[in-house]
Amino acid sequence: MFDNVYKNKTVLVTGDTGFKGSWLAIWLKELGANVIGYSLESKTENDNYVICGLGNKIIHIDGDIRNYQSLKSMFDKYEPDIIFHLAAQPLVLEGYHNPAETYSTNIMGTVNILEVVRNIDSVKTVVIVTTDKCYENRECENGYHETDRLGGKDPYSASKAACEIVINSYIQSYFNNNSTASIASARAGNIIGGGDWAENRIVPDCIRSLRKNETIKIRNPKSVRPWQYILEPLSGYLKLGALLYKYGEKYSGAWNFGPKEVITVKDLVENVIDKWGHGEITILEPSDQNVESSYLRLDISKAIAGLKWEPKLCISESVKYTIDQYKVEDLSQDEVFQQRVKYINDYCKI
Ligand SMILES: NC(=O)c1ccc[n+]([C@@H]2O[C@H](COP(=O)([O-])OP(=O)(O)OC[C@H]3O[C@@H](n4cnc5c(N)ncnc54)[C@H](O)[C@@H]3O)[C@@H](O)[C@H]2O)c1
């Protein structure tokens, strides 16, 4: 898959201890890459990185993305060919509580990656993961295009919009006209899949309640989001990385990755309950603080036409795979790892 681009390449995944980074590291390992991970330590014993025993399967370095010297030493030592930058403070609510840390991690982390790449010859390809929330939200029902105006009312969204501006300025200033490296950004929506235990994310919150036989409390049941199964955007990132590696700056710039369909919070939770087997919902009064947009979807026609990438699963299948993955997390590390690999192989056959 991916034209064998990743086989025997040294691929750096920042944020490998996180939800998406750990799945990406597993997939890259299966593709034959020599995977290097760089991030803070995992937060809980339930994290995908821990329950898969990923620390024994890749080279992992504990480090802060804001520490340029530590990052540069790691690049000098391992000389990665390809980078997927996912390390970030990724939560809207945490962004409201700790805006300065959110800005420094997300913006300066991205600047540091680009600075090291600018000062080293080994790297050919960089995919930087931002978010669908980088757009100025106009509650637009048609979906945002990559050329739409950036924005963000809350600190997390604004930090990611700022990353996009930083990335574009580095591309325009240093990574065009046959430079050694090509850079792209990937904007995806809300991701679901096993091993995500982040606070205040709807599916992890549901699983926590279901495991304790408590009712699932939701605010804003009518909010609409582009939820997608973990392997859908990751397949897009890998395809983008492979094309960037082979053809260079023709593929640089921003790319949206979204699902086939968008649904409301309430529909998603009902789907989770259906696949789990039982459960109840309580609808809470919406809070007027810490506002999130109520309607968010992406236009993915650029990725469909330009990368020949498209989402494969409907929301019901996505939720089914996700719930099945949460249900096996008590197995041994090797068994969970093998189970994750099986999901990746099955997905590739669809
Ligand atoms: N999960 C989603 O639904 C979603 C949606 C859109 C975009 N994203 C983006 O995808 C990326 C990964 O998100 P995730 O859901 O896996 O998050 P996560 O919280 O599970 O993982 C974040 C990772 O970043 C690392 N990290 C955080 N601060 C760091 C620092 N200062 N130095 C080094 N490493 C640091 C953590 O150690 C962890 O490995 C983020 O950039 C996020 O903004 C996620």
How far is Cα 350 from Cα 339, in angstroms, rounded to an integer? 17
In the structure encoding, which two tokens stand for residue 31, read together?
Answer: 């593709």
Q: What is the per-residue pLDDT for 139?
A: 80
Alpha helices in 119-264 (DSSP H): 155-173, 202-211, 231-247
**Nearest atom in ligand 1 to 87's CA:** 24
Cα 133 to middle of ligand 1, angstroms: 14
- Bridge pairing between strands 216-218 and 281-283: parallel
Instruction: With CA atoms as reference, report the closest residue to 94 among 18, 199, 15.
Output: 199
How far is Cα 255 from Cα 274, in angstroms, rounded to an integer? 33
Residue 81 DSSP code: S
CB neighbour list of residue 296: distance below 8 Å, 6 or more residues apart: 132, 133, 137, 189, 224, 225, 226, 262
Q: What is the per-residue pLDDT for 178?
A: 82
Lowest mean pLDDT among 4-8, 141-145, 330-334: 141-145
How far is Cα 74 from Cα 96, in angstroms, rounded to an integer? 32
Ligand 1 pocket, mutate which of 14, 20, 46, 103 (most atoms under 8 A from CB): 20
Q: Which residues line ligand 1 (CB under 6 A)?
A: 15, 17-21, 39-40, 64-66, 86-90, 105, 129, 131, 188, 190-191, 198
Q: Compare 287 and 143 and report the one with higher pLDDT.
A: 143
**Nearest atom in ligand 1 to 16's CA:** 39
In the structure encoding, which two tokens stand for residue 80, read together?
Answer: 């990665």
Instruction: With CA atoms as reference, report the closest residue to 234 among 46, 11, 25, 5.
Output: 25
How far is Cα 146 from Cα 199, in angstroms, rounded to an integer? 29
How far is Cα 257 from Cα 11, in angstroms, rounded to an integer? 21
**Nearest atom in ligand 1 to 49's CA:** 39
Q: What is the pLDDT of residues 13-36, one digit of tens each?
A: 999 999 999 999 999 999 999 999
- What is the percentage of the chain residues whose pLDDT exceeds 70? 98
Q: In one letter, which amino acid is 177?
A: N
CA neighbours within 13 Å on the CB side: how many for 151?
A: 10
Q: What is the pLDDT of residues 221-240, one digit of tens each?
A: 998 889 999 999 999 999 99
User: Which of the four CATH numbers 1.10.10.10, 3.40.630.30, 3.40.50.2300, 3.40.50.720 does domain 8-192+228-258+294-315+333-349 have?
Assistant: 3.40.50.720
**Nearest atom in ligand 1 to 43's CA:** 37
Domain map (residue ranges) of the chain: 8-192+228-258+294-315+333-349
**Nearest atom in ligand 1 to 39's CA:** 34
CB neighbour list of residue 263: distance below 8 Å, 6 or more residues apart: 224, 225, 227, 271, 315
Cα 20 to middle of ligand 1, angstroms: 7
- Tally of residues, the chain: 350
Instruction: With CA atoms as reference, report the closest residue to 194 among 230, 227, 225, 226.
Output: 230
Ligand 1 pocket, mutate which of 46, 62, 86, 268 (most atoms under 8 A from CB): 86
* Cα 148–Cα 231–Cα 11 angle in degrees, nearest 5: 90
Mean pLDDT on 64-87:
98
* pTM for this entry: 0.97
Q: What is the pLDDT of residues 159-170, one digit of tens each?
A: 999 999 999 999
Burial 179-217 (b: 16+ CB within 10 A, else e): bebbbbbbbbbbbbbbbbbbeebbbbbbbebbeeeeebe
